[in-house]
Structure 1
Amino acid sequence: MSFDWIGAATQKELDHFKAVCNQLLSHTYVVRTLYKPGEGRVNNPDYVFISAHFEEIQDYLALLDWDLRKDDLNGYFYVINTDEANRCNLNKKETAILLAIRMIYEENMERLGLEQDAICTVRDVLEKVVTDYAILPAKPNMDEVKRALTTLDNHCVIQRIEGRYNQGSCKFAILPTILSVVSSEKLNVIVSTLRKEDNDEEAEKNSAD
């Protein structure tokens, strides 16, 4: 790693450097645009900074066993741990909610604009989970829904626009980062697996009765 830029950087630049590194390590993604109440989508200054100093940030994070990657087409940076450590593990219901969100994004891809965000509500997600695709046999309670959506928000997969995540009317944006979280191929495989598990559980329950 070359420390030439760091040695010549101003204190403001160094502070921004540390801030974006911590953001990547804490939240996995940095997206090109952010939603601001009253303004809509605005450019993210952290994304601009990483674009300008990509190699320096990539080299620094590599010392910590993190690989910085970028998706120019969809507008985000993200990190992957090269030792496959520090992964975010989701339980079955959280995984089902993630898959429902990925399905909604997939259905809206042809209609997405340049910002590439799909807007939906918590109610839309729950209908997808239980009714449209029957990933789960029953609707999760709203505390579980809030916990799952908050986790995804913390990792820049979604961003809340209005309301609260424990309300069916809550509106949020599905960010294009969802594409690297769950690929189309993985989506189909996981949905089939979850459905099979539920069918097996139901069959065992019926046989026990």
Structure 2
Amino acid sequence: MKLLAEIEVRPENNAIIPPFTSKVGKTILKNYKLSISPLYDGEKFIFKESDVPTYIEVEGGKTYTFRVGGEEEEMIKALSQINDVNVFNTLWKIKDVKVSSVSLECKEYVKVDILTPAIFPDPFVKDEKKRFTNASFIVFAVNAMDEMKLRRGPELDKILYDIEKNVSEEPSDYHSINVVYSNKKVKGIVGRMNFRIRGYFPELRSILENAQAKGIGSSRHNGFGVVNIRC
């Protein structure tokens, strides 16, 4: 079973934090290998686009949230150990933790809202160049690799073919943006992607649940590829 948690935190003072704010959650969770989102301020996830000449500052006394997703055992272990932490020049107090199980039974359509930049690696060859597309077998490739414990090769290719054959692209609204992570410019995709389910294959549900809990694309642990999926 996969779990998704929303953690409410409150900084004691105003503080300048890293431009990709998932580092706050990663520090609180002691860098457990879970998918950890940037901070959310009630309207949007907070991260700095590379062409914005400013820094990121949180407001003391204001409540922020971040999402954490992963396998049940790892989630329970990590969440049972979180405490208030002093980092980035302020004390972060844990105000609340809400946990839910992930369950999706999409039968006709899949709507994917990409809330933080998604980075799509090539699932066929190892390449520094990323893929910028809404092709279903690219969008969900990392989820298939993670869920089926596969690397690039014939077994993965079969699953990718099943995705391509059974999950077709519908008109979508997405675009690429540049953000700053660890002093580097990173390009990813945000927006809405829509898909139609044309046929069933056994792995589809677990792949979609993996995406909802952990995000899509690479660098999910760092807060990239956070999504909301609806059927």
TM-score by length of 2: 0.28
Give the number of the structure with larger relative contact order, counting CA–CA contacts within 8 Å between residues 6 or more apart. 2
Q: TM-score, normalised by structure 1?
A: 0.30
Pick the structure with more helix per residue.
Answer: 1
Structure (1/2) with the larger strand percentage:
2
Larger of the two Rg values belongs to structure:
1
